[in-house]
């Protein structure tokens, strides 16, 4: 598969997992949702290109793609030899021999031979597909399994008496079975990520691999072969320098360790607390933590030691160190840059460089910041602002003052408005004058002028006349005038008032009229 078919962000992730996390090609393919031949091909391309890891900081995605995917030489089919598949199959049975090694030997003997993907495809077609069963082998510090218990814990509101069920998050280390559990209000993404952060803190380190079930919070698209991780979950993994490897769908053996831990938590912790009344989430977690200590200290029945002693002798010394700062929760979304070179996040508008107009970018949204990325490079960063309908604009993102930006300018909007009528033009001029920067008015003006498509020119001109009379210039007010046909009424006639400003909590007079 050519490198350009996948995003450079995924290619960089393959290289990080290989050289920073020292994972096998098989594990990398499962984490990134691509085939092992593709992983091997990327690594081979990196070696051929002369690049080394870590990649230079100033290496753009375009440059990386050019160096990893040079145009292939033209070779005729007659010049390529066909491997002897019987020999390949016999060699594959020998210990330590891999298909990639045999392909390398084939290419050494036939430099103009076929690529690795073709080699694998033809070999599997010759042998037929074999249903492999995954063997559960748990090494120290390697895997942490995570899931939610099927049982919940009722928590009583001390003020209202209302009972709300809390979810139970369970995490267990593969080698020692050392277990962590906590109560959260939901299984939503913020609680899911927060539970991981607290689990890492509880264990005092980070495993090589995190194995979740195909929970919607963590896996945006459940697939047996190529599960897609939620971007926030992937962000968490990058922060802790670990790998997320979701369990395969309908394959219970992939998550047998955590299912056993869930069963133990339900029987050892939740069953013992069934008659306990909790009045807060904090109180429930305090009690769960105390019983959790007893669970981890309890001796095994068939082997010497306990979960805690195994943890201290196996997992604890093998876990990777925690980062200096815990992960700060952030969500990712894709956004299209508007003609005013701003993107909308929760009805607030943040600027990006004007050259990105109409481009799709990735936005990382945390509690305090909004960061914008284009092709993997950060192009803008702003402090989070929760004022709806307002703009946060950086001067360096604005187009040069001495030229019109592309084909959009205040003069063009005014000319467009004049083609509808003088009152529409006056309204447009008022909107432009009310903003610190003219570009911040483009979005609202464009919406108003496009109302001409849904209504005729004469009605829009009359609606703008009425809006100017009422002292309102918002798109929603003008749209409301047209929807209710108020532009047809006399300006001095007593009519229903149009809201002079927009807010989700303003219901308007229609709300209070009773209908029979």
Per residue of the chain (516 residues), give pLDDT as tens. 444 444 677 788 888 888 888 888 888 888 888 888 888 888 888 888 778 888 887 878 778 777 777 665 555 555 577 888 767 765 665 556 788 888 888 888 888 788 888 888 888 887 764 333 333 446 778 889 888 888 888 998 888 888 999 998 999 888 788 999 999 999 888 899 999 999 999 999 999 989 887 665 545 444 343 445 678 888 899 999 998 888 665 555 555 666 777 788 877 788 888 888 889 999 999 999 998 998 899 887 756 678 898 888 888 888 999 999 999 888 888 889 987 788 988 889 898 998 888 899 999 988 888 999 998 889 999 998 888 878 888 888 877 753 444 456 787 888 888 888 888 888 888 888 877 777 777 877 888 888 888 888 888 888 888 888 888 878 888 888 888 888 777 766 544 444 444 444 444 444 444 443
Please say whether the beta carbons of 372 and 379 come within 8 A.
yes
- Is residue 376 within 8 Å of residue 61, measured between CB atoms? yes
What is the pLDDT at residue 403?
44
The candidate with the shortest Cα–Cα distance to 88, out of 73, 71, 100, is 100
Structural contact between residues 432 and 410, judged by C-beta atoms closer than 8 angstroms: yes
Asked if residue 54 has a cis previous peptide bond (ω within 30° of 0), the answer is yes
Same domain, 55 and 175: no
Residue 135 lies in a domain: no
Of 97, 127, 157, the last residue of a domain is: 127
pTM of the predicted protein model: 0.53
- For residue 388, give its domain range: 330-397
CA 160 to chain centre: 37
Q: What is the pLDDT of residue 256?
A: 63
Residues 92 and 194 in one domain: no
Residue with tokens 């691999």: 209
Specify whether 302 is located in the same domain as 158: yes
> Does residue 117 share a domain with residue 256?
no
Which of 101, 127, 153 is the last residue before a domain boundary?
127
Residues 174 and 314 sit within 8 Å (Cβ to Cβ): no
**Are 151 and 298 part of one and the same domain?**
yes
Instruction: Say what the pLDDT of residue 430 is.
Output: 85
Q: Name the residue with tokens 């390949």.
A: 88
- 448 shares a domain with 425: yes
Q: What percent helix, strand, coil does the chain show, rounded to 5? A: 45, 15, 40
Give pLDDT, residue 89: 64
Q: Say yes or no: 305 and 347 in one domain.
A: no
The answer to whether residue 377 is domain-embedded is: yes
Q: What is the number of domains present in the chain?
A: 4
**Do 307 and 340 belong together in one domain?**
no
In a domain? residue 440: yes
Question: Which among 51, 46, 44, 14 has a CA at the least distance from the CA of 107?
Answer: 44
pLDDT for 115 = 85
d(CA 179, CA 380): 41
Q: How many CB atoms lie within 10 A of CB 407?
A: 7
CATH number at residue 165: 3.30.420.10
Beta-strand ranges (E) seen in 418-480 are none
Distance between terminal CA atoms of the chain?
65
- Taking CA atoms, 104 is separated from 86, 109, 442, in Å, by 17, 9, 58
**Beta partners for 62?**
none
Same domain for 314 and 264: yes
Q: What is the CA radius of gyration of the chain?
A: 31
Residue 153, in any domain of the structure: yes
403 domain-assigned: no
What ranges make up the beta strands (E) of 174-208? 179-184
Q: Could you tell me if 375 and 441 lie in one domain?
A: no
Give alpha helix (H) positions in 214-322. 231-239, 256-265, 281-297, 307-310, 316-318
Question: For 19, phi and psi rounded to 5 degrees?
Answer: -95, -30
Query: Is the Cβ–Cβ distance between 208 and 143 less than 8 Å?
Result: yes
- Residue 240, SS3 per DSSP: coil
Report the 10 Å Cβ neighbour count for 21: 17
- Angle at CA of residue 92, ends 86 and 93, nearest 5°: 100
Q: Does some domain include residue 286?
A: yes
Task: Select from 341, 376, 397 the last residue of a domain.
Answer: 397
Classified as helix, coil or strand, 462 is: helix
Residue pair 199/171 in contact by the 8 Å Cβ criterion: yes
65 neighbors 4 (Cβ within 8 angstroms): yes
Locate 52 and state its tokens: 């080394």
**What is the per-residue pLDDT for 98?**
82
Q: Is the dihedral of CA 320, 324, 330, 336 positive or negative?
A: negative
- The packing angle between helices 61-68 and 36-49, to 10°, is 90
| pLDDT in the model for residue 416 | 84
CA distances from 495 to 396, 461, 479, 482 (A): 46, 19, 16, 14
Where is 136: in which H helix or E strand? none
471 and 497 both lie in a single domain: yes
Residue 436 and residue 298 share a domain: no
CA atoms within 13 A of residue 290's CA, in its CB half-sphere: 7
User: Is 136 within the bounds of a domain?
Assistant: no
Closest CA to 147 of 265, 21, 319: 265
402 occurs within a structural domain:
no
């Amino acid at each position: 598969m050519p490198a350009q078919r996948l995003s450079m962000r995924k290619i960089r992730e393959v290289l990080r997992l290989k050289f920073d996390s020292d994972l096998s090609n098989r594990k990398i393919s499962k984490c990134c949702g691509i085939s092992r031949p593709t992983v091997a091909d990327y690594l081979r391309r990196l070696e051929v290109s002369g690049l080394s890891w870590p990649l230079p900081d100033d290496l753009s995605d375009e440059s990386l793609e050019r160096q990893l995917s040079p145009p292939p030489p033209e070779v005729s089919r007659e010049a390529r030899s066909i491997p002897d598949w019987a020999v390949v199959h016999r060699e594959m049975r020998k210990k330590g021999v891999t298909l990639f090694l045999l392909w390398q030997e084939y290419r050494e003997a036939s430099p103009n031979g076929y690529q690795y993907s073709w080699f694998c495809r033809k070999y599997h077609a010759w042998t037929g597909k074999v249903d492999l069963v995954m063997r559960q082998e748990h090494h120290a510090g390697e895997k942490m399994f995570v899931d939610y218990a099927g049982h919940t814990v009722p928590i009583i509101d001390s003020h209202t008496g209302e009972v709300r069920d809390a979810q139970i998050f369970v995490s267990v280390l593969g080698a020692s079975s050392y277990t962590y559990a906590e109560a959260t209000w939901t299984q939503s993404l913020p609680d899911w990520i927060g539970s991981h952060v607290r689990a890492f803190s509880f264990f005092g380190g980070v495993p090589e691999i995190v194995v979740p079930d195909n929970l919607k919070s963590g896996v945006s698209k459940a697939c047996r072969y190529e599960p897609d991780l939620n971007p926030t979950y992937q962000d968490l993994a990058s922060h802790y320098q670990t790998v997320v490897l979701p369990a395969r769908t309908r394959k219970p053996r992939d998550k047998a360790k955590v299912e056993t831990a869930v069963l133990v938590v339900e029987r050892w912790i939740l069953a013992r607390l069934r008659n306990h009344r909790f009045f807060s989430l904090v109180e429930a977690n305090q009690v769960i933590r105390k019983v959790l200590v007893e669970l981890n200290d309890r001796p095994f029945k068939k082997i010497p030691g306990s979960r805690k002693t195994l943890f201290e002798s196996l997992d604890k010394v093998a876990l990777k160190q925690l980062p200096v700062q815990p992960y700060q929760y952030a969500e990712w979304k894709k956004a299209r840059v508007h003609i005013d070179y701003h993107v909308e996040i929760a009805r607030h508008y943040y600027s990006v460089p004007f050259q990105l107009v109409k481009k799709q970018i990735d936005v990382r949204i945390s509690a305090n910041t909004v960061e914008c990325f284009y092709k993997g490079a950060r192009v803008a960063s702003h402090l989070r602002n929760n004022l709806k309908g307002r703009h946060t604009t950086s001067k360096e993102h604005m187009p040069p003052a001495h030229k019109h930006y592309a084909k959009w300018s205040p003069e063009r909007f005014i000319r467009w408005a004049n083609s509808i009528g003088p009152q529409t033009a006056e309204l447009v001029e008022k909107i432009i004058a009310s903003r610190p920067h003219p570009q911040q008015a483009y979005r609202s003006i464009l919406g108003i002028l496009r109302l001409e498509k849904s209504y005729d020119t004469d009605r829009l001109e009359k609606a703008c006349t009425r809006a100017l009379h009422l002292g309102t210039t918002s798109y929603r007010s003008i749209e409301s005038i047209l929807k209710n046909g108020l532009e047809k009424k006399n300006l001095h006639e007593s009519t229903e008032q149009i809201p002079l400003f927009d807010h989700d909590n303003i219901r308007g007079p229609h709300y209070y009229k009773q209908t029979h």
